[in-house]
Amino acid sequence: MFGFQKKTEVVEEKKSSWSERLKAGLAKTRATLNTPVGELFARGKIDEELLEELESILLQADCGIDATQWLLDELRASVKRDRLETPAELQRALVRLLQQLLAPLEQPLTVSGHSPFIIMVAGVNGAGKTTSIGKLARHFQDAGKSVLLAAGDTFRAAAREQLTAWGERNNVTVIAQESGDPAAVVFDAINAARARNIDIVLADTAGRLPTQLHLMEEIAKVRRVIQKTDPSGPHEVLLVLDANIGQNAVAQVKAFDKAIGVTGLVVTKLDGTAKGGVLAAIARQCPKPVRYIGVGEGIDDLQPFKAAEFVEALFDTPATTAA
C-alpha cells in the first residue's frame, strides 16, 4: 500500500510540474489574450464594441480569420441562447468554445499493431525536428519501447551529428551515412530494426520549405521507399511545426500533407511565441491530430497534447469550470 501511495505521489508531482511548465511556456500567448481580455471582461456589459475588440485580440494571438469568426459567431449565439449578461459569463463561454474547437485535435499516438512501427518525421529547417526526434525517442523508451533512429537528413552534416548525439544520450542506435540517398538510409534502418526486433523506427528527413518542389518530391520518395519495404508503412507521418511562424503553419500543414500525407503534428517552441492561438487556426482550416506539443528545451518538455490542459494554460479561468 505504501509503495503504491509513493508511486501515485510521484506521478501526481510529475503531472503537476508539466502543468506548471505548460502554463509558464504559454505565458506570452496568455499575456496577449488575458491582459486585454481581462480589461474587456471587467466591463459592466456585453456589447458589440466588446466583441469587436475581442476579435482583434484573437487575431493578434494568431487564431486566424476563420477560427476567430467561428468563435465570435458562437459567442453571439451563446449570448442570446444562454442569456449571458456579464463579461465574466462571456469569458467562460469563450474558454468552453476554444476547448470544443481544439478537442478533435487531441488524438494520442498509439504505436502498436506493427513491428517495427515506422514514424516518418518531416518539417522545415529550424522547426526543431531533430530535437523533437530525440525527445520522442526518450518518450517511447519511458513507455517501455525499443527505438532506432534513421538519420535521413543526409544534406546537413550538422543534422546527422545532432541526431547521433541524441542517440548517444538515449542509448539508441542511429543508422546514418555521411552522404548519399536519404531513402537508402531509411531502408537500411527499417531492415536493421527488423533484424534486432526493434519496436519503433524514427526516420528523420531533410528540412525543406514547401515551395521547394524538387525537395518535396524527394521526401515523397522516402515515403515510397518505406512503403516498398513495408506496404503498411509509414505508420505515422509527423510534421514538426514551429509555433513562432503563426499562420504560415497552416500553409505548411497543407503543403506537406499534399506531398506525404501528414497524419499528426508536433508543435514546438510554444514557450517562445505569443501566437499559440495558431492551433485554433489549424483546427478550422486543416485539422490534423496534434500528437505532441513542446514548451522548452528539456528532455521532458515534449508531451502529448491535451485540449483542456492547453486552454486552461491560456486563460486564468480554468477550462474545467467553463462547461
Q: pLDDT per residue over 204-238, tens digit each?
A: 998 767 666 667 888 899 999 999 999 999 999 99
pLDDT band for position 27 (cuts 50, 70, 90): confident
Cell for 303? 508531451
pLDDT band, residue 5 (cuts 50/70/90): very low
Kind of pairing, strands 200-204 and 117-122?
parallel
pLDDT at 248 over 80: yes
Residue 320 is predicted with a pLDDT of 45
Question: Which one has a higher pLDDT value, 319 or 130?
Answer: 130
pLDDT higher than 50, residue 6: no
The 10s digit of each residue's pLDDT in 61-85 is 889 999 999 999 999 999 999 988 8
CATH tag for 2-105+314-321 (out of 1.20.120.140, 4.10.520.10, 3.40.50.720, 2.40.110.10): 1.20.120.140
159's grid cell: 543534422
Where does the pLDDT of residue 28 fall: very low under 50, low under 70, confident under 90, or very high at 90 and above? confident
Say which residue, 321 or 72, is predicted with more confidence. 72
Q: Which three cell numbers stand for residue 27?
A: 505565458
Cα separation, 322 vs 59, whole angstroms: 22
pTM exceeding 0.85: yes
Reply yes or no on domain 117-305 having CATH 3.40.50.300: yes
Displacement of CA 84 from its chain's centroid (Å):
34
**Percentage of the chain modeled with pLDDT above 90:** 49
Q: What does pLDDT average to over the chain?
A: 85
Q: What is the pLDDT of residue 86?
A: 82
Per-domain boundaries in the chain: 2-105+314-321, 117-305
Provide the pLDDT for residue 211.
66
Tell me, rounded to whole angstroms, the distance of Cα 189 from its chain centroid: 25
Lowest mean pLDDT among 3-7, 78-82, 241-245: 3-7
84: nearest Cα among 99, 95, 68, 69: 95
Over the range 51-73, which residues count as b (16 or more CB within 10 Å of their CB) and which as e?
beebbebbbbbbbbeebbebbbe
Query: Is the predicted pLDDT of residue 155 greater than 70, yes or no?
Result: yes
pLDDT at residue 43 in the model = 67
Q: 155-159, 201-205, 306-310: lowest mean pLDDT where?
A: 155-159
Distance CA 240, CA 39 (A): 35
| Share above pLDDT 70 across residues of the chain, in percent, rounded to a whole number | 86
The distance of Cα 244 from the centroid of its chain, to the nearest Å, equals: 13
248 vs 196, higher pLDDT: 196
